[in-house]
Amino acid sequence: MGFSVTVLGSNSALPTSERNPTAQVLEASGRFFLIDCGEGTQMQLRRNRVHFGRINHIFISHLHGDHVFGLPGLISTFGLLGRTKDLHIYAISDLEKLLTPLIDYFNRDLPFKVVYHPFIAERDELIYQDNLLEIKTIPLKHRVPTVGFLFREKCKLRKINKQACDFYDVPVKWLHRIKEGEDFVSENGTVIENMKLTLNPPPSVSYAFCTDTRVHDGLIRAVEGVDMLYHEATFLKDQTELAVRTFHSTAEQAARVANEANVGKLLLGHFSSRYRDLTPFLDEARDIFPNSFLAREGDSFDV
Amino acid sequence: MGFSVTVLGSNSALPTSERNPTAQVLEASGRFFLIDCGEGTQMQLRRNRVHFGRINHIFISHLHGDHVFGLPGLISTFGLLGRTKDLHIYAISDLEKLLTPLIDYFNRDLPFKVVYHPFIAERDELIYQDNLLEIKTIPLKHRVPTVGFLFREKCKLRKINKQACDFYDVPVKWLHRIKEGEDFVSENGTVIENMKLTLNPPPSVSYAFCTDTRVHDGLIRAVEGVDMLYHEATFLKDQTELAVRTFHSTAEQAARVANEANVGKLLLGHFSSRYRDLTPFLDEARDIFPNSFLAREGDSFDV
């Protein structure tokens, strides 16, 4: 079970002939999460062979068209394919008001339920959790209410140290309890501490998706130490003033966030359509944070 | 000044990784008309280098998502590009009710006006005309109110027969009146008939766009003699029953319409995503109507 991100769209508001508006699929321990859904996302899912039936949760960062205009088509297609499973959408509450009339008109007999999970963009919130994973919002600073999403595996159970268990004659029926953290108590009452019978758990992986935003301190704190950070880089540093004015970031600023937050790797995206060649983004970021990469349509990254 | 159709999307409701939902651009005497606007149309316009500023009129055949879900993104992009010219949209009146809340929310300061031209789908109507061209609706038979569009150049002026005008000593100042149809009257009162001084005008070109529909007699009459007919062919003839049930057509049926209506050429499209290889559509149609062609993304056809 991996933890990887596939880029479906890397461009900012004006799509180009080669770059789509924002969308990503995160595969986390066998679950598939769609993050943002710009126009053309359903075609991009097909091109990248993501099975539609595996998409059950969609996370929408903010209500600008280039992050949501793929939803009506995707929902219609799910309906035409006979989906019956609930589809969960996480966004600010306005989305439901905007989508409902469209779904009612264009998909009169939608065979599944769209379940909205509204959140308040101005504060961080735990918006999803299951036995393996939790997802929190990160308030961002954009022209409209906008959040990032922090995907984090829960602390995993410690691993059984098979050699130690053999040494202390631990019966098999105890292994589950030891994995859960209990000390072992033998039939004659001897107590063996859990730490002696187990190994450290595998590390919990985390991924932060942050677009669209100006740089701000709260963001840096929120993504501290994540394994991978997707940070928007709409412009190059020679357009810093424009970035600030439009509540976006430059590649340099994204790299500084990655550096200050001490993340594992940085993925840059949301490129302005004014740029055809993206290598200057990579150069600018790597000067500050060497482990930087470009989000490009169809590329997958292990987190 | 040509008269040509460029295919932006050839697929039916479920887009595939290679085929987009319906959209076409008709270039007629220097004007560009967008016909239907499925999801991804703005990217397809870019890929085919159609300048956004030349699109002033959009014709929507019916309100199924695969024919309209590209409109919000296209309108947003026009706004971001600073368009100021009115954008004219021709559709049944429901479209305005559905689009307005989206435009109001996502494009608060849209710098141009969207002008709706509602029509009644159940009757044929002249919905557009200028000095060169007229556009009429053709009522179709689908599950929701649906029309085709008939684009027809107006009768052109006769051409000056230069040799004859020289022979009869026609002064230059008369040429405009002769082109408009007047007889020539010389200074001594001699009348030379217009027909002797002019040649037949170039033919008036016509294009009919017909999707989605069952075959019906009214349609055949409406497209009688057009130079090019785009007719949907969602299925092959072995699925005729399914075609009838879903109010669609087969390639064979489309070819019969072309044959009975005595059109110049037939363009097939709106293929079901169940078909990957489209050559059977061409074979099936050409058995009945040899001058048949497949609509494929990016292909252009002179009408």
Is the pLDDT score of B179 beyond 80? Answer: yes
* B66 is a catalytic site residue: yes
Distance CA A211, CA B192 (A): 76
B14 touches chain A (CB under 8 A): yes
Q: Which pLDDT score is estimated for A203? A: 85
Q: Which of A11, A22, A43 to mutate to test the interface with B (most CBs of B within 10 A)?
A: A43
Q: How many domains does chain A have?
A: 2
Is the pLDDT score of A67 beyond 60? Answer: yes
Angle at B204 between CA B291 and CA B287, to 5 degrees: 10
Q: What is the DSSP letter of B174?
A: G
Query: What torsion do the CA atoms of B280, B286, B288, B290 make, to the nearest 10 degrees?
Result: 170
| Token digits of residue A173 | 């029926």
A104 touches chain B (CB under 8 A): no
In terms of domains, do B194 and B240 share one? no
Identity of the highest mean pLDDT range in A90-94, A131-135, A190-194: A90-94
Q: Which pLDDT score is estimated for A223? A: 97
Residues on chain A touching B108 (C-beta within 8 angstroms): none
β-sheet bridge partners, residue B292: B266
Residues on chain B touching A92 (C-beta within 8 angstroms): none
Closest CA to B149 of B163, B131, B178, B129: B129
In which residue are the tokens 């199924």 written? B64
Decide if A201 contacts A153 (C-beta within 8 A).
Answer: no
- B254-269 per-position pLDDT tens digit: 999 999 999 999 999 9
In chain B, which residue ranges form alpha helices assigned H by DSSP?
41-47, 65-68, 71-80, 94-106, 162-167, 175-179, 194-197, 217-222, 240-245, 251-260, 279-286
Choose one of B137, B172, B199: the last residue of a domain: B199
Closest CA to B71 of B47, B45, B48: B45
Range of the domain at B165: 159-199
Distance CA A178, CA A189 (A): 16
- A205-237 per-position pLDDT tens digit: 999 999 999 999 999 999 999 999 999 999 999
Q: Which pLDDT score is estimated for B1? A: 56
* C-alpha to C-alpha distances, B83 to A141, B52, B53, B101, nearest whole angstrom: 28, 9, 7, 20
Q: What is the DSSP letter of A237?
A: G
Distance CA B101, CA A97 (A): 10
In terms of domains, do B130 and B247 share one? yes
Residues on chain B touching A107 (C-beta within 8 angstroms): 65
A63 touches chain B (CB under 8 A): yes
In terms of domains, do B166 and B143 share one? no
- Supply the ipTM of this predicted assembly: 0.90
In terms of domains, do B265 and B149 share one? yes
In terms of domains, do B130 and B165 share one? no
In terms of domains, do A167 and A269 share one? no
If you measure CA to CA, which chain B residue comes closest to A64? B106
3-state secondary structure of A215: coil
In terms of domains, do A101 and A195 share one? no
In terms of domains, do B247 and B115 share one? yes
- B113-124 per-position pLDDT tens digit: 999 999 999 999
3-state secondary structure of B277: coil
- Asked if B15 lies within 8 A of A70 by C-beta distance, the reply is no
- A243: CATH: 3.60.15.10
In terms of domains, do B245 and B272 share one? yes
Distance CA A51, CA B208 (A): 37
Decide if B112 contacts B83 (C-beta within 8 A).
Answer: yes
In terms of domains, do A172 and A283 share one? no
Distance CA A77, CA B212 (A): 17
β-sheet bridge partners, residue A88: A57, A115
Choose one of A143, A167, A199: the last residue of a domain: A199
Largest CA distance in chain B: 75
Decide if B79 contacts B47 (C-beta within 8 A).
Answer: no
State the nearest Cα–Cα gap between A46 and chain B, in angstroms.
5
DSSP track, A129-166: E-SSEEEEEEE--SSS-BEEEEEEEPPPPPEE-HHHHH
Choose one of B141, B174, B199: the last residue of a domain: B199
Q: Tell me the backbone φ, ψ of residue B231, rounded to 5 degrees.
A: -125, 135
Percent with pLDDT over 70 in chain A: 100
In terms of domains, do B128 and B264 share one? yes
Mean pLDDT (whole number) for B90-115: 96
In terms of domains, do A121 and A163 share one? no
